[in-house]
Structure 1
Amino acid sequence: MRRLVAPLGRHVAFYIIMILSIVPTLAQISLQGVVLDAVSVRPIVGASIKCMEHPEGTSTNNQGTFYIKLDSSVVEIEISALGYQNQKVRLAGADRPLIVYLEKQEQFIETVDIVKKGRYKNRNPATELIDLVIQHKSQNRLTRKDSLYFQQYDKIKFGMVDPKPGFKNRLGDMSFFFKDVDTTSLRGHELLTLFLQEDVSDNYVRQRPTQQKKIIRSQSKTEFDSRYVNNPNISSYLNYLFQPVDIYDESIFFLNKLFLSPIADNAKMYYKYFVTDTLRTEKELFVRLRFAPRNSNDLLFHGQLVVSLDGRYAVKNVELNIDKKTNISWVNEFKISLSYFKNSEGVMLQDTSNVFVLFGRGKVDALFGQRSSVQHKYDTHSAIGDSIFSGAPIEMRLTKDQKIGDMRPVPLNPNEQRTYANIDSLNDLRSFKSLLAVGYLLAQGYFPVGKIELGPLEYLYHMNEMEGQRLRLGGRTTSGLSEKMYLEGYLAYGFRDERFKYYLRTAVALNGKSIATFPAHYLEASSQYDIFEPGKAIGYLKGDSFFRSFVSNKPTKWLETNAYKLGHVYEFGNHFSVETSFTHQRRHAIGDLRFSLTADSTQSLSQINTNDMQVVLRWAPFEKFYYRNLQRRTIVESYPVFNLQYNRGIKGFLGAGYDYDALRFSISKRFFMNQVGFGDVTMSAGKIWGVLPYPLLEMPNINEVKDRHTISYDMTNSMEFVADQFLKVAYDHELNGYILNKIPLIKRLRFREIFGVRMFYGKLSEDNNPYTSDKVVYFDKHQKGYTMTHVLQKQPYWEGYVGLDNILSILRVQYYYRFNYREHPNISNERFKLSLNFDF
């Protein structure tokens, strides 16, 4: 029996109050409502609301409510939910709250699989059905559509779980913030939202050629004081962690890990499947499957699937959970819920998704994160013009008169509505600003002073053989001073050589936008006077931190350097960029470094002066960034990054003494390999033309901070190898416990295997080889008399490591081994390294 109105009991009153509190817009018919079970009066989650005359549609959220804007001509909608009778409702007028009660559908169980503690059979009705689901994936997934448009609403939340009672009454004027907690979203817990972001976007997909475009039309988010908290970085990181999820993908990405989908092509190798029941309605037949990992320690899910039996074998609903034994640190609970609806062509389109995670340690839940998405207003027929895909793949095109509240398909709950105001009030408190300043100093090493910040703290003091004790005061501007101009620099003093050193860099935007915002366009200039180990590049951070004071085999050979650089950076929306620069450097050997001439060993080269013109072409498709102040860092994903660099030396001008040409190419890519973890591959090759002293040639980088294009070597000495044509290869792999997870007892420790290898191969032409040429300088010698620099023989240099990660969730131990050229003096052929490494 259909009922649209029923006596309002205490279970229903809450929903009426919530519905009436939403302010509707007047431009269209705004339909709000709640869908309830007719018997239990409980909300029905994931119920579909579909217009009969137009393609608009939505679904109910986890509270059973929905909100949709309809064309004024719509007079009838249909509400449906799995296991319930469909109901058609005629609309009496605009903006009228609606309460719909659905009756249970007459259904019977076709198959019931009672799970016993026995041997699992690899061939059973459930696996036969999964075979059909896998065979029909290409037919059901959205990427089959040549043109696709949909509107998407995203809500991302991050906050604390069960704030300590003392926060509510012992933090003075900040206590009010910790009293406004959500007690309804997670049973038995209090949630305090610290970050909330909402986006409404237009999304376009085209297959030939493959292109994607996301245009954010409206956005609202909480923001803390930008001097202490990098708000864009929070947004970027949470969007990276909680990426959109589609069950039809082979793997689901979360926390820098890939979890194999239960309907992946090879899923049956890793999952067990069981038929729970089969539901028959008037028009459709569905089967509910339960699945579980064969090994609960692997990166796999357990949960259930609801699959249609209409010949398409499409997924209607899915619930994904991770086992508590899964080899993930700092995560106590992880749940994904996805819902799909059938369009007029019979294709299942995703309408809602919800990702929820609890971060903590053991039984203590500390933080939570959640991403809720609604996709609606699908259009699978209209052609998409080329102009839509111009510019960056993700663009912000906010319209001032379009507020996020007018575009939400699902309203905020009362706690969420107050979050924005609570954060604003908290930012106004002086006590809170002081707390942020201390936290920023400890976490980032910088101390804000007005519109600049001093640091980093670890570079304040350093000690080396040349300068003795070194003090350095550095700083940089913040966006509070200007987003279109950036300044950074330092002043340092060495007490042994009694000399001041300095560095100053500025960047000025040429496109009227922030120099850090993609796509950027800016002009930069820098000047530096300091001492460097040979082979080190100029820059703000050059390796003279406090911790580098205690390295063994301290360098005694230095280059006193004056450097001046002028550069221009232009980034295009397709993540292709062009960087050009001119650098003039004057290097003078100090310490015990000598450049003895091969033409006359009694004479030394006093200076190495160069003019360098550089052009770098870079392509990084779909690149995303972390931001810190007016700087950014690439988020490592599966997309490759290509670099092509050309350098030209100009002799004569400003006293430079060398003509040369150099070409370098590099590529890096991360390969996600499902259950066997992921591997990072970096390759670099190049050639240098010209007769040059060896410090201007290619040398392996020693213990550098690794980015996606820098290959660091741990077992070579500074200046040990040199080449003018070279090939570098690096491979790093993290197995995520794939082997150790299968060993009894050891798997409880949740260790993870890591390994890697480095190769350097190069040749030195006769003109640049001091043993065959009288036009260059000799390789320098150590105080003990042996030659420090070597030319590679026929075989390349190799080193590698193996190790264990996730020891006590915070430690990593590695064993490094040098495979060849072990006869060189003053080297280490093997060593252990213990380091901190926080990873999920």
Structure 2
Amino acid sequence: MLLSIDSMVAQTSLQGEVRDAVSKRPIVGASIKCVAHPEGTSTNHRGSFHIRVDSSVTEITVSALGYQNRRIALLEGDSALMVYLEKEDQLIETVDIVKKGRYKNRNPATELIDLVITHKRKNRLAQKDSLYFQQYDKIKFGMVDPKPGFKTKLGDMSFFFKDVDTASLKGHELLTLYLQEDISDNYVRQQPSRTKRIIRNQHKTEFDSRYVNNPNISSYLNYLFQPVDIYDESIFFLNKLFLSPIADNAKMYYKYFVVDTLKTERDVFVRLRFEPRNSSDLLFHGQLVISMDGRYAVKNVELKVDKKANISWVNDFNISLSYFKNAEGIMLQDTSRVFVVFGRGKVDALFGERSSVQYRYDTQRVIPDTVFNGSPIEVRLSTGEDIRDRRPVALNAHEQRTYTNIDSLNDLKSFKSLLAVGYLLAQGYFPVGKIEFGPLEYLYHMNEMEGQRLRLGGRTTAALSDKVYMEGYLAYGFRDERFKYYLRTAMALNGKSVATFPAHYLEASTQYDIFEPGKAIGYLKGDSFFRSFVSNKPTKWLETEAYKLGHVYEFGNHVSVATNITHQRRRAIGDLRFPLTVDSTQSLAQINTSDIEVTLRWAPFEKFYYRNLQRRTIIESYPVFSLQYNKGIKGFIGAGYDYDALRLSVSKRFFMNQLGFGDVTMTAGKIWGVLPYPLLEMPNIQETRDRHTISYDMTNSMEFVADQFLKISYDHELNGYILNKLPLLKKLRFREIFGARMFYGQLSKDNNPYTGDGVVYFDTHKKGHTMTHVLGKNPYWEGYVGLDNILSIFRVQYYYRFNYREHPSISKERFKLSLNFDF
């Protein structure tokens, strides 16, 4: 305690601004260092800085590229400084500027870029075994130029729209809707490659959790505005990869020009300008400042995206990065800023910004192995510390008021009503007290068995309890005149929220409903309003009564274990029949199973959106592995089958720089046991797109069956790589998409109704055709090609079935038009 108190007393806060002595304009990226002490920081885009220094610090040095260094003595009581720097005499080499001329692939600029690329490994600290630094991140998101009526016609909410920032974006008003600040300890190890980020201080705006999932906002904005490093081969932004101007193959896509040479008292730098060879590609234009001390490291970089680039909804996009040289002569990143303006045409609507400051680097620290245990990113908030006392960069006046303005807005009844309407339209749920009803899409459905179906569903919210969760529905079919139901509950076992990661909970569910053969039980089972109109909708049904008890345990390293015990009673209804192969005059009345399931899942570095127990992975380059084992127990609660099943799945996104990205999912499995075919593997049809499952668009329900199988899917988005290079067409900004699905499987003799006598025959269509088939020597294939970004919101696809086209009542080809909002 005495040590911590002494540390607090020995620290003081110092802030100020650095400006040009002549023009009085702020200097961005100026370095502030304490003499004989490790503390240091740099100025932000407004020329401001904020730093916590030891009380024994008596002098600081201020330096900036192109300016004379200045040494300033600190007087007792100094807390705010205004520092003016004089420009340093520079030697500017002769530069010929030619309006017209052919670009030469071999010139002084490309020769210098070759040296930068050659020295990238050294400048990325690859030779250092460990690295530590602290980082301050600020993420903002809000409106650009709110409509004047918002300030006068929204009643008690109008006050919020009057507090706008007019200085951050010239000629525009910015209204911040979301603000998040993090201060973290960061650890890097090279061999083996490991990283750890521990967030020690955090402050962020939050809306009413009944309507807004605040952690999802944070996850999404952190996903969009990821940290940027010029030494990466590509820079990820808006789910796209922009090739770095110093990537290994950058010269194939960029042109480089020497602008000038800057010679200071200690160092010489060369400023390069670069631009894309094709302005429609996902490339940058901007400037690089490169050191000429033999390391050829990047000192500063300015990146912009050409307005002709194939990006929708983005009107402006800028990245600024600054690096400083430490005592070892290594360039370390000290500041970065990503600023983007979203809109349509000439109308700016929204903005997003991420500003980061890295400081207190230590390249000599020995990092214990225990530091890297658990999740790569952890929130361990320091008790008793206010982020206001640790910010290296102070907030401006508008940013400081954002927190209080959001709190005041949340207290307004009118604002809560507005959130409720938005939540219903966006999520399909309507909150009523501590529960919410929905989803709206599942209120009405129509199928051949039930006719018109009405369903009322709902779920609890954290307002009732964050450690216990319940969901369920009651449905009624007007043709079969039967009620159906579903009820599920989950209870946390770790004393924490049942929804947050890492989770540990026990769950139980019961369900009575009708299912197409091969479909799993669940709250959303495919009976939405839109599924009433698909061409290959189910025609055969099983009346199912199911009971399930499960346990889920997630480890901090994104390894999870899920165990389930499920009992199901399935009965053929309607015109579905299960004639016995041993005697076709007799039919199997019920299929009863008792099943133990264990699933191991590993999703390294996974990020996701969640609402209650539902999760959706934020797709990055990391793979997801899943191993599932099922054991059927004959005789347990009347179960009639003994079987074993093993399924292995893996999915991964491959980023291919200018060629876009491709998503690959593979599933292989085998089922042991003599079983009726509804218990075997069937391709899923037109399910909700999920990275970890494979669904098919051109197969019919129950069309194929197998007890050992392999499924592969591939989807690729070229991001306009080809069409961007075609005259006239490139102005449309279309993007090419294509993909394929494969299903290959075999059916053992015992499970094949044509060779075994212990199973059931395949059922037939109304016209007498056999509905289910055993694959031959060749796997089933279907594929599609299409165009995305039509009018910025439409996607059109042409699907084609390559084989097994002789099967009756199938679609051989199909066009599909869908809405697809993507940057």
Q: Do these two structures clear the TM 0.5 threshold for a shared fold by scoring above it?
A: yes
Residue of structure 1 equivalent to 2:574: 591
Which residue matches 1:451? 434
CA contact (8 A) 1:31 1:94 kept: no
SS of the residue 2:713 aligns to: strand
Aligned runs of 1:82-481 on 2, under 5 Å?
82-93=65-76, 95-481=78-464
CA distance in structure 2 between the aligned counterparts of 1:447 and 1:115, rounded to whole angstroms: 64
Residue type at the aligned position of 2:203: S
- Secondary structure at the counterpart of residue 402 of structure 2: helix
Q: Distance in 1 between matches of 2:485 and 2:345?
A: 49
- Tell me the SS of whatever aligns to 1:754: strand
- Contact 2:740 2:784 (8 Å CA) reproduced: yes
Letter in 2 for 1:229: V
Q: Does 1:735 find its partner at 2:718? A: yes
Structure 2 CA distance, aligned partners of 1:632 and 1:230? 12
Aligned to 2:727: 744
Task: Report if the CA contact (8 A) 2:17-2:83 is conserved.
Answer: yes
Aligned equivalents of 1:516 and 1:350: distance in 2?
A: 36
Alignment partner of 1:812 is 2:795: yes
Whether the aligned pair in 2 keeps the contact of 1:113 and 1:275 (CA below 8 Å) is no
- Greater shift, 356-365 or 105-114, is seen at 105-114
Distance in 2 of aligned mates of 1:595 and 1:561: 15
The match for 1:634 is: 617
One-letter amino acid of the counterpart of residue 228, structure 2: V
1:521 matched to 2:509: no
Q: Which residue of 1 aligns with 2:777?
A: 794
Look up the SS of the partner of 1:722 in the other structure.
coil
In structure 2, what is the equivalent of residue 74 of structure 1?
Answer: 57
Q: Secondary structure at the match of 2:218?
A: helix
Q: CA deviation at 1:41?
A: 1.7
Does the CA-based 8 Å contact 1:720-1:789 persist in structure 2?
A: yes
Quick check: 2:436–2:458 contact (8 Å CA) kept in 1?
A: yes
Deviations 1:676-703 (A, max 9, x none): 0000001110000000000000011111
Counterpart for residue 540 of structure 1: 523
Give the AA of the match of 1:76: E
Shift of 1:480: 1.2
Q: CA deviation at 1:211?
A: 1.3
* 2-structure distance, mates of 1:109, 1:800: 58
1:572 aligns with 2:578: no
Mapped to 1, the partners of 2:613 and 2:104 lie a distance apart of 58
Indicate if the aligned counterparts of 2:698 and 2:801 stay in contact, CA closer than 8 A. yes
1:505 to 474, 488, 494: 488
Specify which of 715, 739, 755 is matched with residue 772 of structure 1.
755
Q: List per-residue Cα deviations over 1:175-224 (Å, max 9, x = no partner).
A: 00000000010000000000000011111111222211111111111111
- 1:399-436 Cα offsets, whole Å, 9 max, x none, are 23111101100000000000000001111111111111
Moved more, 498-507 or 31-40: 31-40
1:32 matched to which residue of 2? 15
Q: How far has the Cα of 1:89 moved from its partner?
A: 1.9
Does the 8 Å CA contact 1:111/1:278 hold for their aligned counterparts?
Answer: no
Change (3 A) 1:113 1:142: farther
Q: 1:601 to 1:630 in 2, by over 3 A?
A: closer
TM-score by length of 2: 0.98
- Please give the TM-score of this superposition, normalised by the length of structure 1: 0.96
Unpaired segments of 5 or more residues in structure 2?
1-6
Question: Which consecutive unaligned segments of at least 5 residues does structure 1 have?
Answer: 1-23
What is the letter of the counterpart of residue 547 of structure 2? Answer: Y
Residue identity in the other structure for 2:209? S
1:615 to 598, 611, 636: 598
Q: Which residue of 1 aligns with 2:643?
A: 660
Change in 2 beyond 3 A, CA 1:553/1:249: closer
Q: Is the 8 A contact 1:113 1:277 kept in 2?
A: no
Q: Determine the structure 1 residue equivalent to 2:543.
A: 560
Per-residue deviation at 1:839? 0.4
**SS of the residue 2:512 aligns to:** strand
1:397 positional shift = 0.8
After TM superposition, give the deviation of residue 51 of structure 1 in Å.
2.1
CA displacement 1:493-544 (0-9 Å, x = unmatched): 1111111100011111111111221111111111000000111110000010
Percentage of identical aligned residues: 83
Q: What's the CA shift for 1:391?
A: 1.5
In the alignment, residue 389 of structure 2 is paired with which amino acid? D
Counterpart mapping for 1:694-773 below 5 A: 694-773=677-756
1:325 aligned partner, one-letter code: K
Q: Which amino acid aligns with 2:189?
A: R
The answer as to whether partners of 2:10 and 2:55 remain within 8 angstroms in 1 is no
The reply to whether residue 56 of structure 1 matches residue 39 of structure 2 is yes
Q: Aligned equivalents of 1:476 and 1:679: distance in 2? A: 36
Relative to structure 1, the CA distance from residue 556 to residue 116 in structure 2 (aligned partners, 3 Å threshold; closer, same or farther) is: same
Aligned length: 817
Distance in 1 (CA, whole Å) between partners of 2:557 and 2:396 is 38
- Whether the 8 Å contact between 1:29 and 1:94 is mirrored in structure 2 is no
1:280-334 C-alpha deviation (Å, 9 max, x unpaired): 0111000000000000000000000000000000000000000000000000000
* Cα deviation code 1:449-477 (max 9, x no counterpart): 01111000010011111111111000111
Q: State how far apart, in whole Å, the 2-side matches of 1:70 and 1:434 are.
A: 47
- Is 1:685–2:668 an aligned residue pair? yes
Q: Which amino acid aligns with 2:477?
A: G
Closer, same or farther: CA 553–86 of 1 in aligned 2, 3 Å: closer
Shift of 1:25: 8.0
Q: Is the 8 A contact 2:498 2:612 kept in 1?
A: no
Q: Which residue type is aligned with residue 276 of structure 1?
A: V
Aligned-partner Cα distance in 1 for 2:523–2:300: 52
Measured in 2, the distance between the counterparts of 1:426 and 1:685 equals 52
Q: Deviations over 1:91-116 (max 9, x none)?
A: 22354322221111010212425242
Q: Which whole-Å CA distance do the structure 1 matches of 2:555 and 2:515 have between them?
A: 34
Aligned counterpart in structure 1 of residue 513 of structure 2, from 525, 530, 544: 530
For residue 554 of structure 1, report the CA deviation from its aligned partner.
4.0
Please give the alpha-carbon distance, in whole angstroms, between the structure 1 residues aligned to 2:415 and 2:8: 37
Cα distance between partner residues in 2 of 1:721 and 1:68 = 66
| Counterpart Cα distance in 1 of 2:644 and 2:41 | 61
The answer on whether the counterparts of 1:302 and 1:320 sit within 8 Å (CA) in structure 2 is yes
TM-fit CA distance, 1:630:
5.0
| Change in 2 beyond 3 A, CA 1:293/1:487 | same
Q: In the superposition, relative to structure 1, how do residues 259 and 553 fare at CA in structure 2: closer, same or farther (>3 Å)?
A: closer
CA distance in 2: counterparts of 1:613 and 1:546, whole angstroms: 33
**CA RMSD, Structure 1 to Structure 2 (Å):** 1.2
Secondary structure of 1:145's partner? coil
Partner Cα distance (1:304, 1:751) in 2: 29
Amino acid at match of 1:605: L
Is contact 2:134-2:186 (8 Å) kept? yes
SS class of match (1:139): helix
Structure 1 residue 138, shift from structure 2 partner: 0.2
> CA contact under 8 A between 1:111 and 1:276: conserved in structure 2?
no
1:14 aligns to what? none
Aligned-partner SS, 2:668: strand
